[in-house]
């Protein structure tokens, strides 16, 4: 068994990893789900997802989610990797967030200020966190779980995120098992 996959399996089995684990097993849970269902994201959907992602991972001294084209990435993942139910839940989640914004602020999420967006998504993340803790195993994930996970994954696996926010070492050439670290030093990442 490939070494890295083995470590992922262990971590996924024991709760060490949130994203790698679920992504690694994607599809296993619904082995007989339908294929090639809708690809109904529009340009404005991508713009919307870009703003959601940028609110989760804003540009600072390091690139933001928009720099990493996370909105586009989310649509590719949802279209190609999600089963039909997960896709429907994702689309419904987008709609739900926009409606909530209209109710609260009287306008679309796209027209909201960065502060309004952040306030909404912080509340939504709290709702997600509580729901995920109490939900039954077979219940679907909260839709914001997908928004957040895809943002984090899309960012750190993008060229902009990896080279801009981590210490990217594609060819280390050596291994040092006792390497000094101080707070603020970036995570060391590889080609994968």
Q: How far is the CB of 174 from other proteins (least distance, A)?
A: 6
Joined together, the tokens standing for residue 136 give 């039954």
Based on CB atoms, which residue is closest to other proteins, 106 or 175?
175
Segment 3 to 22, residues that bind other proteins, using CB under 8 A: 3-11, 13-21
CB 84 within 8 A of CB 140: no
Segment 69 to 88, residues that bind other proteins, using CB under 8 A: 73, 76-77, 80-83
Interface segment toward other proteins; rule CB under 8 A; list 41-49, 52-60, 90-98, 104-112? 52-60
CA 127 to chain CA centroid, Å, is 17
Q: How far is the CB of 52 from other proteins (least distance, A)?
A: 10
Residue 31 within binding range of other proteins, rule CB under 8 A: yes
Based on CB atoms, which residue is closest to other proteins, 14 or 42?
14
Segment 93 to 122, residues that bind other proteins, using CB under 8 A: 118, 121-122
Q: How far is the CB of 136 from other proteins (least distance, A)?
A: 20
Buried b / exposed e over 163-190, threshold 16 CB at 10 Å, is: ebbeebeeeeeeeeeeeeeeeeeeeebe
∠ CA(42), CA(44), CA(50), 5° rounding? 110
Segment 154 to 183, residues that bind other proteins, using CB under 8 A: 154-159, 162, 165-166, 169-183
Over the Cα atoms of the chain, what is R_g? Answer: 18
Residue 140 within binding range of other proteins, rule CB under 8 A: no
∠ CA(126), CA(146), CA(54), 5° rounding? 75
């Amino acid at each position: 068994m490939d070494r890295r996959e083995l470590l992922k399996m262990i971590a996924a089995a024991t709760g060490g990893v949130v994203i790698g684990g679920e992504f690694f097993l994607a599809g296993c849970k619904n082995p007989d789900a339908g294929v090639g269902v809708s690809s109904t994201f529009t340009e404005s959907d991508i713009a919307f997802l870009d703003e959601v992602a940028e609110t989760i991972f804003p540009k600072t001294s390091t690139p933001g989610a928009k720099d990493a084209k996370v909105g586009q990435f989310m649509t590719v993942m949802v279209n190609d990797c999600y089963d039909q139910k997960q896709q429907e839940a994702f689309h419904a989640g987008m709609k739900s967030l926009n409606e909530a914004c209209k109710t609260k602020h009287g306008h679309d999420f796209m027209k909201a200020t960065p502060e309004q967006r952040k306030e909404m998504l912080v509340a939504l993340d709290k709702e997600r966190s509580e729901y995920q803790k109490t939900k039954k195993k077979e219940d679907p994930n909260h839709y914001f779980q997908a928004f957040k996970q895809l943002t984090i994954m899309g960012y750190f696996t993008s060229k902009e995120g990896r080279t801009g926010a981590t210490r990217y070492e594609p060819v280390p050439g050596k291994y040092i098992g006792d390497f000094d670290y101080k707070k603020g030093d970036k995570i060391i990442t590889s080609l994968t």
